[in-house]
Amino acid sequence: MINEQQVREILGQLQDPFLHKTLAETNGLTNVSIKEEKKHISIKVAIAKTNTPEQMTLQMKIVEVLKENGADSVGIRFEELSQEALEAFRGQATESEAQDILSPLSSVQFISIASGKGGVGKSTVSVNMAVALARLGKKVGLIDADIYGFSVPDMMGVQDMPVVKEDRIYPVERLGVKVISMGFFVENNAPIVWRGPMLGKVLDQFFRDVEWGELDYLLLDLPPGTGDVALDIHQMLPSSKEIVVTTPHPTAAFVAARAGAMALQTNHEILGVVENMAWYESRTGEREYVFGQGGGPKLVEELRTELLGQIPLGQPDWTDADFAPSVYATDHPTGKLYLEMAEKVIGKLTN
């Protein structure tokens, strides 16, 4: 029966499937325990990303190697390497590894915009948050991941189409934001009737086959609710922060809590809550609470997060020369609210 030192030497030669460095180089073998009488070896392994097909492949290889060396049974627990360790390896990443935005070595920060139900203005928040971050000097991408209800190109007044060169898709840039959407690949606003596996391939393309270039943040306008597409995205991402959108209505806040709960269950962090359509301000300056009050603060309390902002019911000003029907101007009162929220997001992500 092999001893602990031999276990460490043997397994130390195997590679972390994401960092492409040996477990010896990453100090990924964090614990080894041997029960000689039962010929049982228990180990704890730290890798860049857990709960993936790559983890399963590594697990099978570890079991195979240890049984070849005398073990009758093997117990394995996986954990993720610390952010400090990943940050050190990011500095050593090759150009191709750094440009793969789904790699744990990528420095891109993902921000998912979610809601419990449709009709609460999630896409409006996504678009204006992306534009606000760009106005603050950040390099921003936006994926319209609401595959069945894509609307981002129309909301941003996008007139151009993505360009394909050498099997790479180049996103359309508008108002400082790089945009990709299912809407670019559907003719005449046709309905989407695909099933889950096909949609998963499209989303994978949006991540892997789009030439995003250098980004600080990649925002995702998620489908409403907690369906397969939203779950697939949560599982694809190495990590993401989430903004949950609700209206003041208690029912909207109730169902939005489920979207926030799914983020937490898939190990994603909630940045905060945006209460959209919080009130309507009349010409006299009086606020009318069309959809009631309290939904946002209630959701904040339930998800134990913070209220990023409350957006009033209204419509942006736009002209034919600069048509973007859902984007608020920088000097518009609501545009200023989005800038304030974007500053909060940057502060939270920087810290």
Class for domain 4-87, per CATH? alpha beta
Class for domain 108-350, per CATH? alpha beta
pLDDT attached to residue 268: 75
pLDDT at position 189 over 80: no
% of residues, the chain, pLDDT over 70: 89
4-11 and 53-68 helices, crossing angle to 10°: 130
The 10 Å CB-count burial string (b at 16+, else e) for 13-36 is: ebbbbbbeeebeebebbeebebee
pLDDT tens per residue, range 217-272:
999 998 887 556 666 676 777 678 899 999 998 888 888 887 787 777 766 789 99
The angle at the Cα of 164, spanning 161 to 168, to the nearest 5 degrees, equals 125
> Per the confidence metrics, is the pTM higher than 0.85?
no
Instruction: Return d(Cα 280, Cα 177) in angstroms, integer.
Output: 29
Q: How far is CA 243 from CA 323, 335, 341, in A?
A: 27, 18, 11
Mean pLDDT check: name the lowest of 71-80, 92-101, 258-267: 92-101
pLDDT attached to residue 196: 54
Q: How far is CA 156 from CA 39, 176, 177, 317, in A?
A: 63, 11, 10, 13
Ranges of each domain in the chain: 4-87, 108-350
pLDDT attached to residue 159: 87
Instruction: Return d(Cα 82, Cα 302) in angstroms, integer.
Output: 28
Write down the mean pLDDT value for the chain.
86
pLDDT at position 64 over 90: yes
